[in-house]
Amino acid sequence: MKENKISKKVMALIEKQIDKTINPALVEVAPEKRLTKDLRLDSLDRLGLAIIFEKEFGIAIRNEEEEKLSTVQDAIDLVAEKVIMKTIAEKLERKIENVTPDKRFIEDLGGDSIDRMEIALTFENMFGIEITNAEEENIKTVRDIMNLVNQKTQPLEPLKVKSRNIIQKAREIGLNDQTNEILNSIPKNIIAEEKSK
């Protein structure tokens, strides 16, 4: 199984955002984690993530889409959907706004069987999946491609948040009541492990 580059990158970008917020109570970034409750990202952090995703993947995320992001998996799904539509638009030389989930690949977007095959190969590499000839031939709409990619992508292993960065940042800004509270919330085995490095 190849690596799902999109999902892995989305999770890494979320991990970076968490690290910036100095949130040591968190031990992992996983698809089921809730952005607000589990990862303690507020609405500004979520907006920041949307901007980072836009820059990193060359996509546009509307405000209402950003506001609906609830979990890490929501972010992965939204980015994947946008990247799929962007890739199809580029391959078929169409405007991105003309590529929507309900558009038919051949009739509405002017693709042909060779375009469909090339796009399937692109998504195999991008998402680390295998698309059979029969599956590729059954692709009729953009949504069909999205569903196929979603169905075939494997769950990811959680990413561990690097506590060393958190401890270093807390020391850099100096200990006060707030940073002391933060450091006290880090599990003791993590602190011991980091001190030994």
Residues 103-129 have pLDDT tens digits of 998 999 999 989 999 999 999 988 888
* Whole-prediction pTM: 0.72
| Contacts of 127 by beta carbon, 8 Å cutoff, 6+ apart | 4, 5, 6, 7, 80, 149, 152, 153
Cα separation of 74 and 29, whole Å?
Answer: 13
Cα distances from 84 to residues 42, 50, 107, 120, 174, in angstroms, run: 28, 17, 18, 10, 45
Cα separation of 126 and 8, whole Å?
Answer: 11
Cα separation of 36 and 34, whole Å?
Answer: 6
Cα separation of 90 and 109, whole Å?
Answer: 11
- What are the start and end residues of each CATH 1.10.1200.10 domain in the chain? 5-152
Domain range 5-152, its CATH number among 3.90.180.10, 3.30.360.10, 3.40.50.150, 1.10.1200.10: 1.10.1200.10
Cβ atoms < 10 Å from Cβ of 100: 13
pLDDT at site 164:
47
Torsion region of 110: left, alpha or beta (phi above 0 gives left; psi -120 to 50 gives alpha):
left
pLDDT along the chain (197 residues), means of 10: 74 79 62 86 89 93 92 91 93 93 92 92 88 92 89 65 51 51 50 48
